Structure 1
Amino acid sequence: MTTMGAGMDGQVVRRHGTLLAATALAAALVLTGCGAGDSGSRDTTDAAAPANGGADKDGLLGAPEAAGAGAPQEGKAGAPQEGKAAAPDLRVDQRAIIYTGSMRVQVDDVDAAAREVTALVTRAGGFIGGDQRRSAQADAVAELQLRVPAAKFTSVVDEIAKLGRQQSREISTEDATEAIVDLDARIISQRARVESARQLLSRATSINDLVSLENELGRREADLASLEAKKRRLADLTALSTITVSLAGPAAKITSEKAETGFLAGLTGGWKAFVASLTVLLTVLGALLPWLVAFGVPVAVLLLVLRRRKKTSVPTAPVSAPPPVPAARSAP
């Protein structure tokens, strides 16, 4: 009995040992799985972190893209974070606009006003492109062509209008942004074509190829120079605006640019043309009359005297009798 009880106690101990071993193995497997899951999560987070902005070694997301995504972009035109009211103004500031203006101002002293306009343009950083004047007492007229920076176009026009009584003003604008962008693209493409032609020319082996490639390179360089000249012209027009200013004296008349049509307008125009033609004809006759009197009268008297002398010097020829008619003979 004692031996049987000892055997049963040994079996119970072995069963408990097996159960404990199985429990320990299961716990080890669970801990291993959790560790692998944590490691995978950390690996996944580390792999995704650079794509989301790039975490540094300290774990701070300090990438400029991530910081700028939530901050307002005040220096960029048309940023998604900006309000819709500010976007058009920013876009206009970035466009290339050509300003052209013409105005007529009546002043008391044309020469003094022209000097003030010249000083005003010089202070604004511009220059006088043309100066035409008609000197007179009260109806003097001066026409100045001004080139001023585009940023000061409006202020210069307003200052000129204050010099006297403004009679007319006309301002026009032209958007050259698309033309400049197109020229930039064409210039880049043409430069690439010129460079390729130069490379082919450096590898030419025959005289025919050399001459042909030189001609082609010359044409491409000429096209490139033409495109660059057009771009410089547009850049000059956008950088410096043109203002045509007419300064008129107190008695200068305003020329009406409104065209009239209709029967009465045609009749008035025809009568004015007739009067103008008659005036020109009378002016020509008045200019020729002294010459006609000085040379025409003596020539007429001389011709008359010569004609009379010719009549008196030519003798009258006697009238001769007709020859006798022979009598007809009778037949035998």
Structure 2
Amino acid sequence: MSTRVDASPRLLRRGVVIASIVAAAWGLAACSGSAEFAGSDASYAEGGQAEAADAAADDGSMAEESTDDRALIVTGAMYMTVDDPISAADDAVGIVEGAGGRVDARSETAPSGYDGGSARLTLRIPAPALDAVVDDLRTLGSVDEFSTDSADVTDEVRDLDARISTLRASTERIAGLLDHAEDIKDIITLEDELAGRQAELESLEARQRGLDDQVSMSTIDLSLTTEPIVIVDDSPRSFWSGLESGWNALLSFLTAALVVTGVLLPWITAAALLAAAALIAVRVVRSRRDRSTAASSVGTQAPEEPAAAGGASTDGDG
């Protein structure tokens, strides 16, 4: 019994020592992780300032940045009058694709009684080839309006690059700590932090890709139309204009009547000839029928006359 009482304090002291060591290790790991997270957050939040400070300290080389190093988003619109909008749209697509660009949107309107149709295209043109492509597009017809606008996003691009670089380094360090972590709480904490950093990194990279696409490919909205059809209102507005309109209408009617008569005259003549021929044929048939009828009636009555005469003599004799 005494042995068990003596062993308990030793085990208690050993447990206290082990617990102290584990607590110290946990505190050290927590402090290092917190310091690392804090350092990462600080560097992540102040990435743009650090980048600017490094640029200012680099012998002023970035202070005299050339125009070619700037990141510009160029957008514009071009309105043109062409003879055939659909055909001109096909030519515009060929010009843009030949320069390495693409067409993001296209819409067409069929010709009507008021215009010859229209076409609208959203063109994405490589920034270095923008001027050459615009010059080729001008040959499709008459340019009614053309305008461009540019937005300088150089600082935004640099800040985004710095944030992505810092976040990648922080993610790699957290991944390294996770590889060496043994305590379940440390593993859970590091995995949550790593997942959050990776999600944010993917979001920034997607934003970077979108920004790079806008910078590398300029956007031009091309509108192609024809000359509008002018409808003149020539309705009479006075007595003389009404008289003139009526006289013109009469002449138009007479002209149309003569044209119709000229078209129908051959048919009327042919119909009259056919009718005359049919009438003659009917008369011939009737004449023959009448003759045959008369002849048959004469042949029937001729043998009856002697009998009638004989009867008369017999009656006389009696």
State the TM-score, normalized to the length of structure 1: 0.48
Larger RCO: 1 or 2 (CA < 8 Å, sep 6+): 2
State the TM-score, normalized to the length of structure 2: 0.50
